Amino acid sequence: MARKKAVEAKVGFPKATIRDYEVIVKPVITEKSMALMQNENKVTLKVLDSATKPEIKSAFERIFQVKAIDVKVSNVKTKITTRGTRYTGKISGFKKAIVTIASGEAIDLFKE
């Protein structure tokens, strides 16, 4: 009986593919995203512009080996800025995903 429970508790995820690493570009590290991570168990990521919610969810689960409950996606717009008074510049836009992790699970973005 104890053997069955041990097998049931060990739920694995498939190995990550190259496409999964293309979908998730990098984590967004800001004060707000760190607060979300600590308080609400949410991770903020920069993702591929053409990625869909189910694709982001499956890629996240395969890469980090944790259960994702929900995915929220937003597009961050491009911003025009000035550098001093003479030079204008552009801060490029990107697609951002906020992934909610199941309670009791955690990931470490700062592995050495």
In a domain, 110, yes or no: no
Token output for 80: 């025009």
Per the domain annotation, does 66 fall within a domain?
A: yes
- Please list, in sequence order, all residues whose beta carbon lies within 8 angstroms of the beta carbon of residue 35, skipping any fewer than 6 positions away: none
Which pTM does this prediction carry? 0.81
Whether residue 23 contacts residue 17, with contact meaning beta carbons closer than 8 Å, is answered with no
The CATH number of whichever domain residue 81 belongs to comes to 3.30.70.330
**Domain count along the chain:** 1
Residue pair 98/39 in contact (Cβ under 8 Å)? The answer is no
Taking only the tens of pLDDT, the chain with its 112 residues reads 555 554 445 568 889 889 999 999 999 999 999 999 999 999 999 999 999 999 999 999 999 999 999 999 999 999 999 988 889 999 999 999 999 999 999 888 877 5
**Per-residue pLDDT, 83:** 85
Query: How far is Cα 98 from Cα 57, in angstroms, rounded to an integer?
Result: 10
Q: Is there a domain that residue 34 lies in? A: yes
